Amino acid sequence: MIKTINSLKKTINSFSPKNKEDLEVFRIKYLGKKGVLNDLFLEFKNLPNEEKKTIGAVINDLKKAIQQKVVDYSDRFNEVVIDSTVDFSKPVRLNNLGSRHPISIVKNQIVEIFNNVGFNVSDGPEIEDDWHNFSALNLPEEHPARDMQDTFFIQTNPDVLLRTHTSSVQVRYMENNKPPIRTLSPGRVYRNESISARAHCIFHQVEGLYVDENVSFIDLKETLLYFAKEMFGKKSKIRLRPSYFPFTEPSAEVDIYWGLNNEDDYRITKGTGWLEILGCGMVDPNVLTNCGIDPKKYSGYAFGMGIERIAMLKYNITDLRMFYENDIRFLKQFSSI
Protein backbone atom coordinates (compact mmCIF):
# COMPACT_ATOMS: atom_id res chain seq x y z
CA MET A 1 0.00 0.00 0.00
CA ILE A 2 2.96 2.30 0.71
CA LYS A 3 4.19 1.79 -2.86
CA THR A 4 0.76 2.75 -4.21
CA ILE A 5 0.69 5.92 -2.10
CA ASN A 6 4.24 6.93 -3.13
CA SER A 7 3.31 6.44 -6.78
CA LEU A 8 0.24 8.65 -6.30
CA LYS A 9 2.41 11.34 -4.68
CA LYS A 10 4.65 11.49 -7.75
CA THR A 11 1.60 11.77 -10.03
CA ILE A 12 0.08 14.53 -7.91
CA ASN A 13 3.33 16.52 -7.64
CA SER A 14 3.80 16.44 -11.42
CA PHE A 15 0.20 17.39 -12.16
CA SER A 16 -0.23 20.84 -13.74
CA PRO A 17 -3.77 21.73 -14.85
CA LYS A 18 -4.22 24.05 -17.83
CA ASN A 19 -7.54 25.50 -16.73
CA LYS A 20 -10.33 25.32 -14.15
CA GLU A 21 -11.91 22.35 -15.90
CA ASP A 22 -8.72 20.25 -15.60
CA LEU A 23 -8.46 21.16 -11.93
CA GLU A 24 -12.07 20.14 -11.24
CA VAL A 25 -11.52 16.75 -12.90
CA PHE A 26 -8.43 16.29 -10.71
CA ARG A 27 -10.34 17.25 -7.55
CA ILE A 28 -13.18 14.83 -8.21
CA LYS A 29 -10.78 12.02 -9.17
CA TYR A 30 -8.89 12.20 -5.88
CA LEU A 31 -11.22 13.89 -3.37
CA GLY A 32 -14.68 12.90 -4.62
CA LYS A 33 -16.96 10.43 -2.83
CA LYS A 34 -15.86 7.72 -5.23
CA GLY A 35 -12.32 9.04 -5.59
CA VAL A 36 -8.89 7.55 -5.03
CA LEU A 37 -8.59 8.76 -1.42
CA ASN A 38 -11.92 7.23 -0.52
CA ASP A 39 -10.70 3.85 -1.86
CA LEU A 40 -7.50 4.15 0.17
CA PHE A 41 -9.44 4.80 3.38
CA LEU A 42 -11.61 1.75 2.68
CA GLU A 43 -8.47 -0.38 2.33
CA PHE A 44 -7.05 1.24 5.47
CA LYS A 45 -9.92 -0.18 7.57
CA ASN A 46 -8.79 -3.72 6.75
CA LEU A 47 -5.13 -3.22 7.74
CA PRO A 48 -3.68 -4.80 10.89
CA ASN A 49 -3.77 -2.43 13.85
CA GLU A 50 0.03 -2.28 14.11
CA GLU A 51 0.22 -0.85 10.54
CA LYS A 52 -2.60 1.66 10.82
CA LYS A 53 -0.59 4.34 12.62
CA THR A 54 2.11 4.47 9.94
CA ILE A 55 -0.17 4.06 6.92
CA GLY A 56 -2.74 6.51 8.31
CA ALA A 57 -0.14 9.27 8.59
CA VAL A 58 1.01 8.67 5.01
CA ILE A 59 -2.55 8.80 3.67
CA ASN A 60 -3.23 12.05 5.55
CA ASP A 61 -0.07 13.57 4.07
CA LEU A 62 -1.26 12.56 0.61
CA LYS A 63 -4.68 14.12 1.27
CA LYS A 64 -3.09 17.40 2.39
CA ALA A 65 -0.91 17.46 -0.73
CA ILE A 66 -3.96 17.02 -2.97
CA GLN A 67 -5.94 19.69 -1.14
CA GLN A 68 -3.04 22.13 -1.31
CA LYS A 69 -2.67 21.52 -5.05
CA VAL A 70 -6.37 22.35 -5.54
CA VAL A 71 -6.11 25.52 -3.40
CA ASP A 72 -2.95 26.78 -5.14
CA TYR A 73 -4.34 26.42 -8.64
CA SER A 74 -7.79 27.72 -7.64
CA ASP A 75 -6.17 30.96 -6.49
CA ARG A 76 -4.13 31.13 -9.68
CA PHE A 77 -7.11 30.66 -11.97
CA ASN A 78 -9.09 33.26 -10.00
CA GLU A 79 -6.48 35.97 -10.44
CA VAL A 80 -7.80 39.18 -12.03
CA VAL A 81 -6.24 39.85 -15.40
CA ILE A 82 -5.72 43.58 -15.91
CA ASP A 83 -6.14 44.82 -19.44
CA SER A 84 -3.04 46.91 -20.16
CA THR A 85 -4.91 48.83 -22.85
CA VAL A 86 -7.23 50.45 -20.27
CA ASP A 87 -6.15 53.81 -18.89
CA PHE A 88 -7.15 53.79 -15.23
CA SER A 89 -6.05 57.40 -14.77
CA LYS A 90 -8.96 58.70 -16.82
CA PRO A 91 -11.63 60.57 -14.82
CA VAL A 92 -14.76 58.60 -13.97
CA ARG A 93 -18.07 59.58 -15.52
CA LEU A 94 -20.43 60.94 -12.91
CA ASN A 95 -23.66 60.57 -14.88
CA ASN A 96 -24.80 57.41 -13.10
CA LEU A 97 -24.59 58.41 -9.45
CA GLY A 98 -27.09 57.16 -6.95
CA SER A 99 -29.59 59.40 -5.19
CA ARG A 100 -30.83 60.04 -1.70
CA HIS A 101 -34.16 58.53 -0.74
CA PRO A 102 -36.94 61.17 -0.57
CA ILE A 103 -37.57 60.28 3.08
CA SER A 104 -33.93 60.98 3.88
CA ILE A 105 -34.05 64.23 1.91
CA VAL A 106 -37.10 65.51 3.78
CA LYS A 107 -35.83 64.33 7.17
CA ASN A 108 -32.55 66.17 6.64
CA GLN A 109 -34.42 69.31 5.59
CA ILE A 110 -36.60 69.21 8.70
CA VAL A 111 -33.60 68.62 10.97
CA GLU A 112 -31.72 71.51 9.37
CA ILE A 113 -34.68 73.89 9.76
CA PHE A 114 -34.99 73.19 13.48
CA ASN A 115 -31.22 73.10 14.00
CA ASN A 116 -31.21 76.73 12.90
CA VAL A 117 -33.33 77.65 15.93
CA GLY A 118 -31.39 75.63 18.48
CA PHE A 119 -32.88 72.11 18.36
CA ASN A 120 -30.42 69.24 18.71
CA VAL A 121 -31.09 65.66 17.52
CA SER A 122 -31.77 62.78 19.92
CA ASP A 123 -32.24 59.08 19.25
CA GLY A 124 -33.60 56.04 21.06
CA PRO A 125 -34.37 52.32 20.63
CA GLU A 126 -37.00 51.09 18.20
CA ILE A 127 -37.81 48.17 20.53
CA GLU A 128 -39.31 49.90 23.56
CA ASP A 129 -40.89 49.14 26.92
CA ASP A 130 -44.38 50.08 27.99
CA TRP A 131 -43.22 52.84 30.33
CA HIS A 132 -41.41 54.94 27.73
CA ASN A 133 -43.89 54.32 24.92
CA PHE A 134 -47.13 54.66 26.87
CA SER A 135 -47.25 55.05 30.66
CA ALA A 136 -44.82 57.96 31.02
CA LEU A 137 -46.79 59.78 28.32
CA ASN A 138 -49.95 59.86 30.39
CA LEU A 139 -51.24 56.60 28.93
CA PRO A 140 -51.52 54.16 31.85
CA GLU A 141 -52.77 50.62 31.34
CA GLU A 142 -56.38 50.32 30.19
CA HIS A 143 -56.34 53.96 29.04
CA PRO A 144 -58.76 54.10 26.06
CA ALA A 145 -56.38 56.31 24.07
CA ARG A 146 -54.04 53.33 23.68
CA ASP A 147 -56.50 52.05 21.11
CA MET A 148 -55.53 54.99 18.91
CA GLN A 149 -52.29 53.15 18.14
CA ASP A 150 -52.50 49.49 17.08
CA THR A 151 -49.26 48.16 18.53
CA PHE A 152 -46.83 45.40 17.57
CA PHE A 153 -45.86 43.56 20.76
CA ILE A 154 -42.73 41.42 20.95
CA GLN A 155 -43.69 37.76 21.38
CA THR A 156 -46.25 37.52 24.19
CA ASN A 157 -44.65 40.07 26.52
CA PRO A 158 -47.01 43.05 26.84
CA ASP A 159 -44.16 45.16 28.23
CA VAL A 160 -41.95 44.92 25.11
CA LEU A 161 -43.09 46.42 21.82
CA LEU A 162 -42.09 48.19 18.63
CA ARG A 163 -42.37 51.89 19.35
CA THR A 164 -45.50 53.50 17.95
CA HIS A 165 -44.07 57.05 18.00
CA THR A 166 -40.77 58.79 18.68
CA SER A 167 -42.28 60.43 21.77
CA SER A 168 -40.54 57.60 23.65
CA VAL A 169 -37.22 59.23 22.70
CA GLN A 170 -38.42 62.48 24.27
CA VAL A 171 -39.23 60.67 27.52
CA ARG A 172 -35.74 59.16 27.63
CA TYR A 173 -34.20 62.55 26.88
CA MET A 174 -36.12 64.30 29.67
CA GLU A 175 -35.14 61.55 32.12
CA ASN A 176 -31.44 62.15 31.39
CA ASN A 177 -31.28 65.91 30.78
CA LYS A 178 -32.30 68.96 32.77
CA PRO A 179 -34.13 71.94 31.25
CA PRO A 180 -33.71 73.93 29.15
CA ILE A 181 -34.40 71.15 26.65
CA ARG A 182 -34.75 71.74 22.93
CA THR A 183 -34.54 68.47 21.00
CA LEU A 184 -35.74 66.86 17.79
CA SER A 185 -36.36 63.09 17.54
CA PRO A 186 -36.52 61.65 14.02
CA GLY A 187 -36.93 57.92 13.52
CA ARG A 188 -38.81 54.89 12.28
CA VAL A 189 -42.01 53.79 14.02
CA TYR A 190 -44.39 50.86 13.71
CA ARG A 191 -48.14 50.37 13.87
CA ASN A 192 -50.25 47.37 13.00
CA GLU A 193 -52.11 48.88 10.07
CA SER A 194 -53.14 47.53 6.69
CA ILE A 195 -50.84 48.66 3.90
CA SER A 196 -52.47 50.92 1.33
CA ALA A 197 -51.79 54.06 -0.70
CA ARG A 198 -52.39 56.17 2.44
CA ALA A 199 -51.14 53.93 5.27
CA HIS A 200 -48.30 51.57 6.12
CA CYS A 201 -47.19 49.45 9.08
CA ILE A 202 -43.75 51.16 8.99
CA PHE A 203 -43.31 54.90 8.67
CA HIS A 204 -41.10 57.75 9.90
CA GLN A 205 -41.75 60.57 12.34
CA VAL A 206 -40.01 63.70 13.53
CA GLU A 207 -41.04 64.94 16.95
CA GLY A 208 -39.86 68.12 18.64
CA LEU A 209 -39.74 69.07 22.31
CA TYR A 210 -38.98 72.36 24.06
CA VAL A 211 -39.01 72.59 27.87
CA ASP A 212 -37.93 75.67 29.82
CA GLU A 213 -39.30 78.29 32.16
CA ASN A 214 -42.26 80.34 30.88
CA VAL A 215 -42.75 78.45 27.60
CA SER A 216 -46.14 79.39 26.14
CA PHE A 217 -48.49 78.33 23.36
CA ILE A 218 -47.51 81.39 21.33
CA ASP A 219 -43.91 80.10 21.32
CA LEU A 220 -45.21 76.87 19.82
CA LYS A 221 -47.29 78.64 17.17
CA GLU A 222 -44.44 80.90 16.05
CA THR A 223 -42.02 77.96 15.84
CA LEU A 224 -44.41 75.99 13.64
CA LEU A 225 -45.12 79.01 11.43
CA TYR A 226 -41.36 79.41 10.97
CA PHE A 227 -41.11 75.72 10.01
CA ALA A 228 -43.95 75.96 7.48
CA LYS A 229 -42.39 78.97 5.76
CA GLU A 230 -38.96 77.34 5.59
CA MET A 231 -40.32 74.04 4.27
CA PHE A 232 -43.12 75.17 1.96
CA GLY A 233 -42.31 78.80 1.12
CA LYS A 234 -42.32 82.23 2.72
CA LYS A 235 -45.97 82.86 1.87
CA SER A 236 -47.20 79.80 3.77
CA LYS A 237 -50.07 80.20 6.21
CA ILE A 238 -51.05 77.84 9.03
CA ARG A 239 -54.04 77.37 11.28
CA LEU A 240 -54.41 75.44 14.55
CA ARG A 241 -57.51 73.39 15.34
CA PRO A 242 -58.29 72.02 18.82
CA SER A 243 -57.55 68.31 19.12
CA TYR A 244 -56.70 65.65 21.71
CA PHE A 245 -53.42 63.90 22.54
CA PRO A 246 -52.93 62.23 25.93
CA PHE A 247 -49.49 63.74 26.46
CA THR A 248 -50.29 67.38 25.63
CA GLU A 249 -52.84 69.83 27.02
CA PRO A 250 -54.08 71.85 25.26
CA SER A 251 -53.55 69.99 21.98
CA ALA A 252 -53.98 71.06 18.38
CA GLU A 253 -53.80 69.88 14.77
CA VAL A 254 -51.85 72.14 12.44
CA ASP A 255 -53.02 72.77 8.86
CA ILE A 256 -51.18 74.54 6.09
CA TYR A 257 -53.00 76.48 3.41
CA TRP A 258 -52.33 74.55 0.20
CA GLY A 259 -54.60 76.55 -2.10
CA LEU A 260 -57.20 75.66 -4.70
CA ASN A 261 -55.30 76.23 -7.92
CA ASN A 262 -56.17 73.01 -9.76
CA GLU A 263 -58.17 69.80 -9.57
CA ASP A 264 -55.46 68.03 -7.54
CA ASP A 265 -55.65 70.77 -4.91
CA TYR A 266 -59.42 70.32 -4.66
CA ARG A 267 -58.98 66.58 -4.35
CA ILE A 268 -56.27 66.43 -1.68
CA THR A 269 -57.75 69.27 0.41
CA LYS A 270 -61.35 68.07 -0.07
CA GLY A 271 -62.26 71.46 -1.44
CA THR A 272 -61.10 73.45 1.60
CA GLY A 273 -57.62 74.45 0.49
CA TRP A 274 -56.23 73.38 3.89
CA LEU A 275 -54.05 70.31 4.59
CA GLU A 276 -53.17 68.79 7.97
CA ILE A 277 -49.40 68.46 8.42
CA LEU A 278 -48.76 67.74 12.13
CA GLY A 279 -50.05 67.55 15.69
CA CYS A 280 -48.84 69.59 18.66
CA GLY A 281 -49.60 70.92 22.12
CA MET A 282 -48.28 71.98 25.49
CA VAL A 283 -46.61 69.12 27.38
CA ASP A 284 -49.00 67.74 30.00
CA PRO A 285 -47.74 68.42 33.58
CA ASN A 286 -48.14 64.69 34.36
CA VAL A 287 -45.61 63.86 31.63
CA LEU A 288 -43.10 66.32 33.09
CA THR A 289 -43.60 64.82 36.55
CA ASN A 290 -43.13 61.27 35.20
CA CYS A 291 -39.81 62.36 33.68
CA GLY A 292 -38.54 64.01 36.86
CA ILE A 293 -39.17 67.63 35.81
CA ASP A 294 -40.98 70.06 38.13
CA PRO A 295 -44.16 71.21 36.26
CA LYS A 296 -44.54 74.16 38.65
CA LYS A 297 -41.25 75.60 37.49
CA TYR A 298 -41.09 74.43 33.88
CA SER A 299 -43.46 74.20 30.94
CA GLY A 300 -42.96 73.03 27.41
CA TYR A 301 -44.41 72.27 24.01
CA ALA A 302 -44.17 69.23 21.74
CA PHE A 303 -45.04 68.56 18.13
CA GLY A 304 -44.84 65.62 15.76
CA MET A 305 -45.18 65.00 12.04
CA GLY A 306 -44.95 62.10 9.60
CA ILE A 307 -41.97 62.45 7.26
CA GLU A 308 -43.78 60.55 4.51
CA ARG A 309 -46.70 62.96 4.82
CA ILE A 310 -44.43 65.96 4.28
CA ALA A 311 -42.59 64.25 1.41
CA MET A 312 -45.86 63.36 -0.33
CA LEU A 313 -46.96 66.99 -0.18
CA LYS A 314 -43.60 68.42 -1.17
CA TYR A 315 -43.05 66.12 -4.17
CA ASN A 316 -46.68 65.41 -5.11
CA ILE A 317 -46.40 61.67 -4.41
CA THR A 318 -49.81 60.03 -4.38
CA ASP A 319 -49.01 56.50 -3.13
CA LEU A 320 -47.25 55.89 0.19
CA ARG A 321 -46.11 52.43 -0.92
CA MET A 322 -43.72 53.95 -3.46
CA PHE A 323 -41.35 54.90 -0.63
CA TYR A 324 -40.75 51.23 0.20
CA GLU A 325 -40.67 49.46 -3.18
CA ASN A 326 -37.11 50.48 -4.18
CA ASP A 327 -38.18 51.19 -7.75
CA ILE A 328 -35.10 52.70 -9.39
CA ARG A 329 -37.28 54.75 -11.74
CA PHE A 330 -38.91 56.42 -8.75
CA LEU A 331 -35.67 57.01 -6.86
CA LYS A 332 -33.79 58.46 -9.84
CA GLN A 333 -36.19 61.41 -9.85
CA PHE A 334 -34.41 62.63 -6.69
CA SER A 335 -30.82 62.30 -7.96
CA SER A 336 -30.42 66.05 -8.43
CA ILE A 337 -31.79 67.00 -4.99
Angle at 120 between CA 114 and CA 122, to 5 degrees: 120
Q: How confident is the model at residue 79 (pLDDT cuts 50, 70, 90)?
A: low
Q: How confident is the model at residue 80 (pLDDT cuts 50, 70, 90)?
A: low
Q: Are strands 120-121 and 181-190 parallel, antiparallel or unpaired?
A: parallel
pLDDT value of residue 97: 67
The percent of residues above 70 in pLDDT, for the chain, comes to 93
Q: Residues with Cβ < 8 Å from 181, sequence gap 6 or more?
A: 173, 174, 209, 210, 211, 212, 300
Q: How confident is the model at residue 36 (pLDDT cuts 50, 70, 90)?
A: confident
Number of H helices and E strands in the chain, helices first, is: 12, 9
Position 81 pLDDT exceeds 60 = no
Q: How confident is the model at residue 303 (pLDDT cuts 50, 70, 90)?
A: very high
Lowest mean pLDDT among 49-53, 80-84, 193-197, 223-227: 80-84
Lowest mean pLDDT among 144-153, 167-176, 277-286: 144-153
Query: Which is higher by pLDDT, 200 or 114?
Result: 114
Residue 100 to residue 104: CA distance in whole angstroms: 6
- Please write the tens of the pLDDT for every residue from 228-240: 999 999 999 999 9
Q: Are strands 274-283 and 248-257 parallel, antiparallel or unpaired?
A: antiparallel
pLDDT value of residue 212: 97
Position 136 pLDDT exceeds 60 = yes
- State the average pLDDT over residues 172-179: 96
- Is the bond preceding 125 in cis, omega lying within 30 degrees of 0? no
Helix (H, G, I), strand (E, B) or coil at 202: strand
| Backbone region of residue 122 per phi and psi (left: phi > 0; alpha: psi in -120 to 50; beta: other values) | beta
Residue 135 to residue 243: CA distance in whole angstroms: 20
Per the prediction, the chain carries an average pLDDT of 87
Lowest mean pLDDT among 58-62, 132-136, 294-298: 58-62
Residue 160 to residue 127: CA distance in whole angstroms: 7
Query: Which is higher by pLDDT, 8 or 144?
Result: 8
pLDDT value of residue 96: 64
- State the average pLDDT over residues 138-150: 74
- Please write the tens of the pLDDT for every residue from 238-297: 999 999 999 999 999 999 998 888 888 888 888 999 999 999 999 999 999 999 999 999
pLDDT value of residue 84: 64
- State the average pLDDT over residues 176-187: 96
Q: How confident is the model at residue 72 (pLDDT cuts 50, 70, 90)?
A: confident
pLDDT value of residue 53: 76
Position 145 pLDDT exceeds 90 = no
Position 126 pLDDT exceeds 80 = yes
Position 14 pLDDT exceeds 80 = yes
pTM equals: 0.69
Q: Residues with Cβ < 8 Å from 173, sequence gap 6 or more?
A: 122, 124, 181, 183, 185, 209
- State the average pLDDT over residues 126-147: 85
| Backbone region of residue 15 per phi and psi (left: phi > 0; alpha: psi in -120 to 50; beta: other values) | beta
- State the average pLDDT over residues 152-177: 89
